[in-house]
């Protein structure tokens, strides 16, 4: 081939003109973004995102469980392909939203506001954690028009509960996400080795790691203190300040005994939708549906709490049967591809939520990084649906069980009689065998 022919075929790229353009050129998957985040953060901070409980078996299983399902595409026309759907009765551009994550400004100084703005731009809801590092009021002020949901722990103090609910409502949050998997804190051994204890232990390697990541270090030391201003009903005034008690709440836990009656109290006092997060028990799902909750988030907390807790995809069919259409089902845990979302919906979920993937984006490139992760998921979902032969989310949910098989259902030995019948059919058709 002549040089002029090569020149005609090849395009010479100039320097990227924006962070978004740079990400388009370098980051083709959540896995790519994960690698960028690892380079942007000190190891101890990155391990806080990456780590799970004890041997991290649940965390690994969350990802592996998606690989147990295979697609079985159907042939036919795909027209006007759309990912648009409803989640908790409101519109969403795709069946995916950002799950609450704690300590978010540890990873980037823009923290929750950057993630929330990216969610708003993408047209998906955003969940703000009770252990967030930006006030719920500041997030609301920065993101008018965003569907905001607030994450909380159940409490057995009715007065405190009402005061918190009033603050959440006044700040413009439309739904609650109530944790039911945090009666104790998971034993996260990576954190202990890195000095992520209560209070934090500053080790020489921590200082060294920070020095190797000057951009992160500069953002950390020039921003407001890492604090957790949404733990109670008081609206903070002035700059945020950090205390040992706050860190103890994040890293060691501060929980009180609660039961179904306390969840019923939340349901009675809150007029909007409520998601119960951290449920993998079909029996609990059925109880929740009977009590009038709006959704369950089938989740094991990303494998960060009880190790060897069932993974969402392993129990999803049972959860769908137990709920029987009375409430929405959200899958959260191990989702790294748009195809994972499609698998969950094919099995009966209504939407999915992500945590670690968007934290990778935030750590690597702030708001633009979160936006890029959502862009990747959207493109992968569209491509998967097109190749699967499905045009809409409604069509996927209606016929999804015919489009997906668990590996235990594949390659089942065929009875001899069935095999003989197949051979006769092929002979009748003149089909080579």
Is 301 designated active site?
Answer: yes
- How far apart are the C-alpha atoms of 4 and 419, rounded to whole Å? 59
Phi (first) and psi of residue 116, to 5 degrees? -65, -40
Instruction: Name the one residue in this structure whose structure tokens are 């000057």.
Output: 214
Contacts of 226 (CB under 8 A, 6+ apart): 103, 105, 106, 133, 240, 242
- How far apart are the C-alpha atoms of 13 and 156, rounded to whole Å? 60
User: What is the Rg, in whole angstroms, of the alpha carbon atoms belonging to the chain?
Assistant: 24
Catalytic residue among 108, 130, 187, 301: 301
277 has which bridge partners?
179, 297
Note whether 397 and 345 are within 8 A (CB): yes
Judged by DSSP in three states, 109 sits in: coil
Judged by DSSP in three states, 223 sits in: coil
Instruction: Name the one residue in this structure whose structure tokens are 């029996």.
Output: 283
**Cis status of the peptide bond prior to 199, with omega within 30 of 0:** yes
Nearest to 299 by CA among 62, 116, 87: 62
Nearest to 297 by CA among 320, 283, 278, 322: 278
- How far apart are the C-alpha atoms of 120 and 97, rounded to whole Å? 10
Active site residues: 301
């Amino acid at each position: 081939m002549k040089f002029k022919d090569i020149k005609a075929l090849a395009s010479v790229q100039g320097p990227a003109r924006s962070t978004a353009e740079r990400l388009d050129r370098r980051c083709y998957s959540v896995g790519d973004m994960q690698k960028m985040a690892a380079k942007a953060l000190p190891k101890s901070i990155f391990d806080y995102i990456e780590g799970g409980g004890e041997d991290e078996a649940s965390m690994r299983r969350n990802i592996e469980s998606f690989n147990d399902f295979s697609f079985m595409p159907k042939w036919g026309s795909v027209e006007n392909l759309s990912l648009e759907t409803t989640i908790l009765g409101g519109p969403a551009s795709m069946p995916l939203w950002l799950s609450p994550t704690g300590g978010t400004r540890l990873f980037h100084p823009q923290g929750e506001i950057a993630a929330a703005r990216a969610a708003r731009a993408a047209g998906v809801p955003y969940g703000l954690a009770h252990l967030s590092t930006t006030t719920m009021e500041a997030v609301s002020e920065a993101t008018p028009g965003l569907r905001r949901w607030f994450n909380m722990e159940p409490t057995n103090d009715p007065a405190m509960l009402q005061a918190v609910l009033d603050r959440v409502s006044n700040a413009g949050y439309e739904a609650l996400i109530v944790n039911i998997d945090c009666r104790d804190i998971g034993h996260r051994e990576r954190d202990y080795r890195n000095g992520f204890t209560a209070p934090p232990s500053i080790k020489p390697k921590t200082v060294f790691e920070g020095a190797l990541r000057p951009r992160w270090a500069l953002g950390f030391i020039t921003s407001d203190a890492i604090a957790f201003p949404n733990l109670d009903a008081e609206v903070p005034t002035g700059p945020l300040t950090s205390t040992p008690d706050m860190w103890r709440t994040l890293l060691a836990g501060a929980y009180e005994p609660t039961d179904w009656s306390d969840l019923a109290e939340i349901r009675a006092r809150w007029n909007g939708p409520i998601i119960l997060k951290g449920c993998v028990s079909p029996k609990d799902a059925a109880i929740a549906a009977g009590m009038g909750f709006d959704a369950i988030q089938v989740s094991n907390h990303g494998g960060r709490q009880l190790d060897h807790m069932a993974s969402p995809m392993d129990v999803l069919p049972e959860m769908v049967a137990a709920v029987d259409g009375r409430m929405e089902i959200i899958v959260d845990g191990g989702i790294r591809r748009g195809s994972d979302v499609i698998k969950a919906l094919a099995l009966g979920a209504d939407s999915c939520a992500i945590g670690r993937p968007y934290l990778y984006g935030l750590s690597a490139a702030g708001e633009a990084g979160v936006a890029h992760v959502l862009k990747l998921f959207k493109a992968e979902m569209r491509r998967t649906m097109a190749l699967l032969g499905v045009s809409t989310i409604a069509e996927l949910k209606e016929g999804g069980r015919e489009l997906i098989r668990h590996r235990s259902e594949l390659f089942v030995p065929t009875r001899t009689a069935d095999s003989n019948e197949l051979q006769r059919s092929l002979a009748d058709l003149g089909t080579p065998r």
